[in-house]
Amino acid sequence: MNEFLLFVSQEWMLVGALLVLIGLFLWMENVRAGESISVHQLTAQVNNANGLVLDLRDNKEFKEGHIVDAINIPFAKLAASVNTLDVHKARPLVLVDKMGQHTGSAGRILKKAGYQVSRLNGGMSEWTGSSLPVVKGA
């Protein structure tokens, strides 16, 4: 640990540049994947802007509980299934998964295909943690 601190103190400019580059990389990845929104913003977007919820979890998890009127395309099948969403291209898509781990990658795929994308911050864990309603079954 002492060697690490010695290195940081002697090479503070390199360490600072590395941290800036990491921060810029994370910021750019976030921008390219779509805006992250809260559960309240999701509700407003669905109600006011005709938003469509795209659930990226597998079919089993989707059937255990999902947001009302959500469409289910598992993340593993998204790249091959993007064209099935063409009928919804004019609507803003809100991406949802279990905890938000796949929404960034899915957002980049969909934005590249021309969709308006945002991501639910915290995924279904945040939704259910806020005691918001879910639909069980198909």
Task: Please write the tens of the pLDDT for every residue from 46-89.
Answer: 888 788 999 999 999 999 999 999 999 999 999 898 989 999 88
CATH number at residue 86: 3.40.250.10
Residue 24 in any domain: the answer is yes
The reply to whether 25 and 66 lie within a common domain is no
3-class DSSP string for 39-101: HHHHHHHHHHCCCEEEECCCHHHHHHCECCCCEECCHHHHHHHHHHHHHHCCCCEEEECCCCC
The reply to whether 28 and 39 lie within a common domain is no
The reply to whether 43 and 69 lie within a common domain is yes
pLDDT at 36: 84
The total domain count for the chain is 2
The reply to whether 23 and 42 lie within a common domain is no
